[in-house]
């Protein structure tokens, strides 16, 4: 078996307490949630119609999901404003990851079609963005539920939050809230 260079395996990260307080769709709950809980929930940036959430079980450091507020699992149902806002937030996410973590490349994409695509939250679509480094593991399907653990998610959160905060149009309010973009 080949030795795998896995620099992100620094610390086991597990969300404390889970999301037991959430009824129904967790992404909707996060979208509408109290902004002062953003850090605890690892929501790192918000636009008017979407938000960026760090994956609690990342494949690599900085693995995030860019999630529209609209509760749908069908990409074709997103209206134009949401499509544009979501796309712009993805652009900002690549910039923030470049600045905060400096990966060599990215894998990014949607899992559509529910269980067959391997997604865990089928009803609320989300774009995964996974930073890649030369020499990290072979890319595995982004949405299998087995691959775990990475550098401390909190560290990634801080790096990304700082990078988002430095972007044009960013509003930063305290330490616990996500960086907000309104345009
Ligand atoms: Zn939802």
Helices (H) and strands (E) in the chain, counts: 4, 7
Which DSSP category does 171 fall into?
A: E
The token pair that represents 61 in the structure block? 């450091």
What pLDDT score was predicted for residue 6?
Answer: 35
Task: Answer for the pair 69, 31: CB distance below 8 angstroms, yes or no.
Answer: yes
Write the pLDDT tens digit of every residue in 140-151.
444 344 334 444
Per-residue pLDDT tens digits for 86-134: 999 999 999 999 999 999 999 888 877 665 555 456 688 888 898 988 8
Taking the centre of ligand 1 as the mean of its atom positions, its distance from the CA of residue 130, in whole angstroms, is 22
Phi, psi of 135 (to 5 degrees): 90, 0
Residues with CB under 5 A from ligand 1 (ion): 25, 27-28, 71, 124
Mean pLDDT of the chain: 79
Residue 8: per-residue pLDDT: 33
124: nearest Cα among 94, 82, 96, 91:
82
Write the class of the CATH domain 26-181.
alpha beta
Ligand 1: centre distance to CA 111 (Å): 15
């Amino acid at each position: 078996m080949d030795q795998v260079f896995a620099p992100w395996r620094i610390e086991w990260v597990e969300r404390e307490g889970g999301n037991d307080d959430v009824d129904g769709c967790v992404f909707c709950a996060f979208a509408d949630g109290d902004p002062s809980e953003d850090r605890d929930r690892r929501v790192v940036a918000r636009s008017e119609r979407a938000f960026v959430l760090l994956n609690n079980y990342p494949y690599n450091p900085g693995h995030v999901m860019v999630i529209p507020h609209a509760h749908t699992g069908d990409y074709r149902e997103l209206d134009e404003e949401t499509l544009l806002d979501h796309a712009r937030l993805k652009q900002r996410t690549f910039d923030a990851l470049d600045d905060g973590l400096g990966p060599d490349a990215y894998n990014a994409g949607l899992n559509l079609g529910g269980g067959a695509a391997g997604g865990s939250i089928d009803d609320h679509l989300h774009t995964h963005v996974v930073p890649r480094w030369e020499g990290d593991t072979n890319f595995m399907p982004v949405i299998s539920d087995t691959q775990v653990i990475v550098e401390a998610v909190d560290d990634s959160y801080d790096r990304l939050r700082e990078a988002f905060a430095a972007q044009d149009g960013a509003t930063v309010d305290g330490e616990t809230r996500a960086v907000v973009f309104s345009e």
